[in-house]
Chain A
Amino acid sequence: MKICRIDMSTKTISFEEVKEEYVGLGGRGLTSRIISDEVDATSHPLGKNNKLVIAPGLFAGTLAPSSGRLSVGTKSPLTGGIKESNAGGTAAQSLAKLGYKAVIIENKPKNQELNLIKITPEGITIEDAGYLKMKGNYEVGNILREKHGEKVTVMSLGQAGEMRLTAASIAVTDPEGRPTRHCGRGGTGAVLGSKGIKAIVIDPGKENKVEYHNIDNFRTAARSFSKSVLAHPVSGQGLPAYGTAVLVNVLNEAGGLPTDNFRDGRFEFAENISGETMFETIEKRKGQTTHACHPGCIMRCSQVYNDKKGDYLTGGFEYETIWAFGAHCHIKDLDSIAQMDKMCDDFGVDTIDTGVAVGVAMEGGYLEFGDDKGAIKLLEEIGKGSPIGRIIGNGAAFTGQAFGTERVPVVKRQALPAYDPRSVKGQGVTYATTPMGADHTAGYAVTSNILGVGGVVDPLKKDGQVELSRNLQIATAVLDSLGFCIFVAFPILDDETAFPEVANMINSKYNTNFDINEILASGQEVLKLEKAFNQRAGITKAQDRLPEFFKEEAVGPHNVTFDFTDEELDETLEF
């Protein structure tokens, strides 16, 4: 394994052996460590002193199921703190096959320019990519596959990343070459854009440098772990059949589906945008109800959604996206929402921050709640780079300022996702306290709060939520470091044989002797590093809070507020 460093001011590429203290790190554990070690926390996120680190997880390219997630780390131009943004797609496995533990992109060109980084078994080259200027991710992918081969992985920016907007994502292609998987959150696309990079093409060819200390033991543990994943009703049956969109109805029934910019917990048209409706629509139009975002995923929660004519419209059409453009904006037409998902994928913006921004623009009176045609027109402006397009493409916090409204659902300027923090209180604790800014995956308390996975914690009460969020945040830091999809948490929480097999996989691949507690302790270390970086960047406890309207406005149908004291929230990551 090696680490590659790309200096964009001199266009030099160097390779380093992995330092001893980095050997046991991967994914988020490694990106957060390198950013913490090498980036001055007070740097401007778009300046030469910030870096962008791309790292596959410790299990990337192995026989471990659903382990092809990619971590991208940087100082976020959105939150001003450390960021790990995580995506599926084929990049992590391709990098692992080529023997890369991480790629560090540093410095920046003196002038505005666009480059392409090409990573192959022959090495790494930097080429001019001026011909891709202001093109969307779909077109960029088509051009690059024609030039560099049909099988390459493409990581790319749409127009938003080139313009360095704070909701800009980095697209990662799925096995079919579609730019449907994104490092969405926190504006990582803006940082890549600031480095003068439009796209990264990765082609492992026939190369496969993934090694095991003891492959037989690894295989045995991976098989047993796969069995746990497939035996669990959620990861084995629920996710493959319905994907994540099934949560629309679940959260609507629970009164936790934020509607009309967090004014209500139920949406009168939830059924129109539900997973059940999506499933029927996909079947009727001969799309794919089940799809793997990367090879080796056994949960296959993704899908391919066709338009009325039966032609491809979008893929990777997730619950959070459907919620953001749907219930949050009072939009009930699933085809309009699918269209907006595709536009976000193409322009390269985070669907959560952008969808929430559209609702905030509605809040500010720029367009009416429920106006799907107006919302689509508004999104088109991002691709054009017009002033209003730039406002929306900078996300919810910036949009709230532009329209002078105080009801802006963000923490550390990052938009809240699809679970109301008042009626799914464990999620609220995670939104407030994770170093990432409001993020649903950082400590997914929906498990115990709503789904009854990993025990039951009443979503409407405070009891047990801080501890739940803490434990989940630690476990998630571990999973993000291994490169696992967050959904393996379902079997891990309910099947006590699952996590020991994770330890067995680590030990049989890396010739180590970790026990479960040591592995969990590594998750704590990641969080400590991230918190310390944020403190150096000037982010204090005062930012570990939800906007005040969540404390003051009760949400129906349960008529509840977010009622944690500051002291209670501050206990979450005190270790």
Chain B
Amino acid sequence: MGNIQIEVRLFAYLRELFPPESRGVKKVEVKECLTIDNLMDEIGIVEKEIMIVMINGVRKLDYNESLKEGDRVSIFPPVGGG
């Protein structure tokens, strides 16, 4: 089991979970085969099911998917407009 580097990007009020100077963006090292669901737990995101999660700009609905080296993981609370 090796480790992989990923970039986590949090938006709107989820940014409060990271230090303010990070502006919601952190490169982190995680265990290989960590799932989206595990990652959200580690960050401390509650109400996971209402969040919008994108990996490399593609919306993911299945949080059991494993993360890969270099993934850009973007997580939004329910927001919108137009």
Q: Which of A246, A265, A452 contacts B12 (CB 8 A)?
A: A246
Interface string of A269-291 (1 = CB under 8 A from B): 00100011000000000000000
Stretch touching chain B among A194-202, A357-365, A443-451, A563-571 = A443-451
Q: Across the interface, which residues of B come within 8 angstroms of A318, CB to CB?
A: 81
Tell which of A233, A253, A447 touches B57, judged by Cβ atoms closer than 8 Å: A253
Tell me the complex Cα distance, A312–B76, Å: 30
Out of B57, B74, B80, which one reaches A490, CB within 8 Å?
B80
* Residue B50 at the chain A interface, CB threshold 8 Å: yes
Within 8 A of B (CB), among A225-251: 233-234, 237-239, 241-247, 249-250
A524 to nearest B CB, angstroms? 22
| Shortest distance from the beta carbon of A417 to any chain B beta carbon, whole Å | 9
Residue numbers in A under 8 Å from B19 (CB-CB):
none
Give the contact stretch, choosing among A47-55, A114-122, A453-461, A530-538. Answer: A453-461
Do residues A319 and B82 form an inter-chain contact, with CB atoms below 8 A? Answer: yes
Does A244 contact B81, Cβ atoms closer than 8 Å? yes
Assess whether A247 is in contact with B82, with CB atoms less than 8 Å apart.
Answer: yes
Question: What residues of chain A lie closer than 8 Å to B12, measured between beta carbons?
Answer: 238, 241-242, 246, 275-276
A271 to chain B, nearest CB (A): 6
**Smallest distance from the beta carbon of B58 to chain A beta carbons, Å?**
7
How many angstroms from the CA of A293 to the CA of B39 in the assembled complex? 40
Interface flag for A383 (CB, 8 Å): no
Q: Contact between B57 and A558 (Cβ–Cβ < 8 Å)?
A: yes
Band of interface residues on A = 35 or more
- 8 Å CB contacts to A: which residues of B1-33? 9, 11-13, 15, 23-24
Q: Is A407 an interface residue (CB 8 A)?
A: no
Q: Which residue of A lies closest to B57 (CB)?
A: A255
A242 to B79, CA, bound (A): 8
Is B59 in contact with A456, judged by CB distance below 8 angstroms?
yes
Residues of A within 8 A of B23 (CB): 271, 276
Q: When A238-B78, A239-B81, A319-B82 are in contact, do A276 and B57 touch as well, CB less than 8 Å?
A: no
> A451 near B57 (CB under 8 angstroms)?
no
Give the chain A neighbours of B59 by CB distance below 8 A: 254, 450, 452, 456, 458-459
> Contact at B82–A243, with CB atoms within 8 Å?
no
Within the complex, the shortest CB–CB distance from B40 to chain A, in Å, comes to: 16
Tell me, yes or no, whether B43 is within 8 Å of chain A by CB.
Answer: no
CA distance A243 to B52 in the complex (A): 17
Q: Does A486 make an interface contact (CB < 8 A)? A: yes
CB of A239 within 8 A of CB of B15, answer no
Q: Mark each residue of chain B from 57 to 80: 1 if its CB lies under 8 Å from any CB of chain A, else 0.
A: 111010000000000101011111
Indicate whether B45 reaches chain A with its CB closer than 8 angstroms: no
Residues on the B chain within 8 Å of A245, using CB: 81
Bound CA span A452–B76, Å: 11
Task: Give the distance to chain A from B57, nearest Cβ to Cβ, in Å.
Answer: 4
Q: How large is the interface on B (under 10, 10 to 19, 20 to 34, 35 or more residues)?
A: 20 to 34
**Would you call B57 and A557 a contact (CB within 8 A)?**
yes
Q: Which residues of B contact A253 (CB under 8 A)?
A: 9, 11, 54, 57, 72, 74, 76
Smallest beta-carbon distance B48→chain A, Å: 13
How distant is B37 from chain A, measured CB to nearest CB, in Å? 17
Contacts of B81 in A (CB 8 A): 238-239, 242-247, 301, 318-319, 487
Q: Select which of A233, A271, A557 is within 8 A of B78 by beta carbon.
A: A233
Q: How far is the CB of A563 from chain B (nearest CB, A)?
A: 17
Q: How far is the CA of A451 from the CA of B11 in the complex (A)?
A: 14
A69 to chain B, nearest CB (A): 13
- Contact partners of B57 in chain A: CB under 8 A: 253-255, 265-266, 557-558
- Asked whether, in the complex, the Cβ of B82 is within 8 Å of the Cβ of A440, the reply is yes
Q: Whole-angstrom distance between the alpha carbons of A253 and B23 in the complex?
A: 15
Set of chain A residues within 8 Å of B15, measured between Cβ atoms = 276
Q: Find the residue from A239, A246, A320 having the highest chain B CB count within 10 A.
A: A246
Expressed in whole angstroms, the Cα–Cα distance for A447 and B78 within the complex equals 11
Write out the residue numbers on chain A whose beta carbons fall within 8 Å of the beta carbon of B72: 253
Contact A244 B82 (CB under 8 A): yes
* B82 x A250 contact (CB < 8 A): no
Interchain CA distance A458-B60 in the complex, whole Å:
10
Does B82 lie within 8 Å of A487, measured CB to CB? yes
- List 18 extra interface pairs beyond A242-B79, A253-B57, CB under 8 A: A234-B78, A237-B78, A238-B77, A238-B79, A243-B81, A244-B80, A246-B79, A247-B79, A247-B80, A250-B76, A276-B11, A276-B12, A318-B81, A320-B82, A450-B52, A456-B61, A486-B82, A487-B81
What are 14 A-B pairs with beta-carbon distances under 8 A?
A233-B77, A238-B81, A239-B79, A239-B81, A241-B12, A253-B9, A275-B79, A276-B12, A319-B82, A446-B80, A456-B59, A458-B59, A487-B82, A557-B57
